[in-house]
Structure formats: C-alpha cells, structure tokens
Amino acid sequence: MADDEEYWYQIIDGFLSEEEVQLILGLWPANGWKRARHRNSAKIYNTRPGDWSESFSDLYFSAASRIEEIIKRKNANAVFDKELHGAGIHEHGKGGFLNIHVDFNYIKEGLGIRSFNALLYLTKPEVGGSLELWYGDSTKPKTKMEVVTPEPGRLVLFEATESSWHGLPERIGGSVPRRSMAFYFYDPMVSVPAKERHSTKYSK
C-alpha cells in the first residue's frame, strides 16, 4: 500500500440481527473491565472472556469466525487474534473518544503483521462516536475518506496498514454509553522486522 492512497474497507449492515443485538446487550458483562484514560483516549474495555458468560463468549467468537470467513473470501490471509490484544468489547461513556491513530502492527512471533480490523456496533446513531477513516502517510493522516455512524448490527471492516488512520475523535455527549465489539486479524505470511514494529501511533 503506497502512501496517500485509499485503503480497502467495507460496511456491512445487518451483520447482526436486531434479536442478536438485544441478546448481546442483555448479556453485556459486568466484570473484567479496565479503564483507559489518557490524552488520546477515554473508554473502558474488556478483553477477558473468562469473565464473560458462556453465551456471550459464544456470540463474540462466532462473530469473529464469520468475519474471518468474509476476509478470506477476499483472498486475504487473516487469522483472528484469539488472545484479544486490544480487541474484545469496548464502551465509551460520556466524554469518551479515541484520537485518530494507526494501530500497533505486531504482537508476537508467528502471528505476523496486523492486517484487518473489524468493529461491530451495538448502539444507536444518536449515542454518537462515529468512526472516521482517514488516509495519509505513515506520519500523519491527510484526507478523510469515510465517516461510519454506529448502527446496531453494523459491521465495518478495514485494512490495517501503515497509513490507515482511524478513530472516533468526537466525544460522546450523552449519558448512554457507546458499545461495540472489536476483532483484529493478522497475516502470518508476513513477518514484521524488529525495526518496523511499533505501538499505536496517534496523530496528535
């Protein structure tokens, strides 16, 4: 992927039915949450399936398998990170946000390079927290490509590259939390040289 070029993304409405969304929200875990609050993000997140009910865990991992199949139909290599580094479930309450960033690109030997992200929305558009997709170069975002409004059951899939900048920079205004599920995929056929590994890069 060259700099300053759009990257692949896809929005799939109705990935989850209304009934599935209601089921997931009804089983939303009470335990296992951690807080992130720093200059680039305010949210709580949960990457601990051991603290979820079995039913909730089944719904999450079956969604991951379905997404993996969608990516593979693109003839792309995609292995779901079952250890959920940075993935799992996310909740942005009042004031929640996430500045535009490029994701960390490496976790461990053998898993390869981060290649695709999938975000599955559960809450209504009026809650806020639209996802912005920007492209640019490896140092900064330059052009806004898409704004994805969260809709219950809507999935957005996009390539994770050195220039796929994204985030939800507008803070949540109301008291209803924005809830989503996150799934990250890796390409084991591409190794990341030590000098090219990096953590999350924020635009400011």
Sites of contact with Fe ion (CB under 5 A): 103
Q: In angstroms, what is the minimal distance from the CB of 103 to Fe ion?
A: 4
Task: Output the residue with the shortest Cβ distance to Fe ion.
Answer: 103
Cα 25 to its chain centre, rounded Å, is 18
Q: Which is closer to Fe ion, CB of 103 or CB of 159?
A: 103
Give the shortest CB-184-to-Fe ion separation in angstroms.
Answer: 8
Residue bearing tokens 């059951």? 153
From 196, 203, 195, select the one nearest 105 (Cα to Cα): 196
Q: Which is nearer to Fe ion, 91 or 103 (CB)?
A: 103
Q: What angle do CA 98, 143, 15 make, to 5 degrees?
A: 60
Residue 123 vs 164, nearer CB to Fe ion: 164
DSSP letter (8 states) at residue 35: E
Nearer to Fe ion, 103 or 187 (CB): 103
Find the shortest distance in angstroms from Cβ 80 to Fe ion.
Answer: 16
- Give me the count of residues in the chain: 204
